[in-house]
Amino acid sequence: MAQSHSGHYDIITTAEPRGAAPVVRSISPSDLSYAISKGIDDFWAMPTHVVFLCLIYPIVGLVLGRAVFAYEMIPLLYPIAAGVAFIGPFAAIGLYELSRRREMGRDTSWRHVMDFAHSPSFPAIVGLGLLMLALVVVWISLAGAVFVASFGYVEPVSFSAFLRDLLTTKEGHNVIIVGNAIGLVFAVLALMLSVVSFPLLLDRHVGLPTALATSMKAVLKNPFTMALWGLIVIAALILGAIPFFMGLAIVVPVLGHSTWHLYRRVVEPDHSRRPEYHPRPKWRRYAAEFPASLFVPSSDRDEDTKV
């Protein structure tokens, strides 16, 4: 369902001309260094609102950790933390938007963090985010099944007891080996699906299959470099989580900005002219007309009610 004059947007089909599929470049570790240095530069250039935006990450981390311990879900703490990393590219899309705007010499105040919501590809962005969330749910479910298969349905009496069983028993070693093997498969899949797809959808009006295919092609064409990037992300998130997830307030925005610049190195830019996306017009709504004003079609509103 391609975009029409009535304002509908495509989710699956591409909106770009045939033959205009994104071109993927070969990159090297030096391109990763470039992307990270540019990401750090973006962070220092836009520190106030970026840190403000990303304070949600340590807060969520602390709440998550408390919930896990409170509900005796200790065996799922590691899978949940890893799963949060899988959806990081979606959570960082506001950071891509800020880097995009700075790259174009535009205002980068915090008010523009959510401008991606006005992109023609916004439905596809949401669809990809839901796909990544589904991947996380499946991963956590499998991780829980691995633990139950080894230890049964008995909950650990304490975190220290859980670690002791995990590190000193045959069942615990089985959980570590099998769980991490499955986690590696999911991590590779998450990397392939999302490493450039979210920035691509933000940058260009393409369909979801095109974004996914481009992202997978980027990984398959640069397996070593992309594997190194995945290791850098994991290492940075682990360091950021020490202590008490507070370091993520710096690590997450730097990785987010760096991902945008990595996308710029991997995918050939499209030099064709594109229409800019802008916020949709708003209309005044009056309390006396509630709730009917919520359902009046835009075509029935007078032009002089726009604000």
- The pLDDT of residue 73: 74
Interatomic CA distance for residues 243 and 290, integer angstroms: 49
Copy the structure tokens of residue 232.
């850098």
- The pLDDT of residue 211: 94
Q: 149 versus 115: which is more confidently predicted?
A: 149
pLDDT surpassing 80 at residue 3: no
Q: 108 versus 125: which is more confidently predicted?
A: 125
- The pLDDT of residue 301: 47
- Report the range of poorest mean pLDDT among 174-183, 228-237, 275-284: 275-284
Average pLDDT over residues 222-245: 87
- The pLDDT of residue 270: 77
pLDDT surpassing 80 at residue 15: no
Interatomic CA distance for residues 14 and 95, integer angstroms: 24
- The pLDDT of residue 23: 92
pLDDT tens digits along 84-104:
788 888 888 888 888 888 888
Interatomic CA distance for residues 147 and 154, integer angstroms: 10
The angle formed by the CA atoms of residues 276, 198 and 95, to the nearest 5 degrees, is: 75
Interatomic CA distance for residues 101 and 108, integer angstroms: 6
Q: What are the φ/ψ torsions at residue 235 (nearest 5 degrees)?
A: -60, -40
Interatomic CA distance for residues 210 and 17, integer angstroms: 12
pLDDT tens digits along 118-177:
778 888 999 999 999 999 999 999 998 999 998 888 777 777 888 888 999 999 999 999
* CA 300 to centroid of chain Cα atoms: 38
Helix ranges (H only) for the chain are 29-45, 47-54, 56-70, 77-86, 88-91, 93-103, 122-151, 159-168, 170-194, 197-203, 208-221, 223-240, 248-266
State which amino acid sits at residue 67.
A
- Report the range of poorest mean pLDDT among 136-145, 199-208, 246-255: 246-255
pLDDT tens digits along 20-79:
689 999 999 999 999 999 999 998 888 755 555 556 666 666 666 666 666 567 788 888
- Percentage of the chain lying above the pLDDT 90 cut: 38
- Report the range of poorest mean pLDDT among 146-160, 174-188, 273-287: 273-287
Q: Of 268, 196, 275, 273, which is closest to residue 21 (Cα–Cα)?
A: 268
Q: What are the φ/ψ torsions at residue 24 (nearest 5 degrees)?
A: -100, 135
- The pLDDT of residue 39: 93
**Extents of the domains making up the chain:** 29-275
Q: What pTM does this model have?
A: 0.76
Average pLDDT over residues 264-283: 67
Q: 15 versus 206: which is more confidently predicted?
A: 206
Q: What are the φ/ψ torsions at residue 226 (nearest 5 degrees)?
A: -70, -35
DSSP-assigned letters across all residues of 210-228? HHHHHHHHHHHHSHHHHHH
- The pLDDT of residue 243: 65
pLDDT surpassing 50 at residue 222: yes
Question: Do you find a cis peptide bond into 243, omega within 30 degrees of 0?
Answer: yes
Output the average pLDDT for the chain. 78
Q: Cβ(255)–Cβ(58) under 8 Å?
A: no
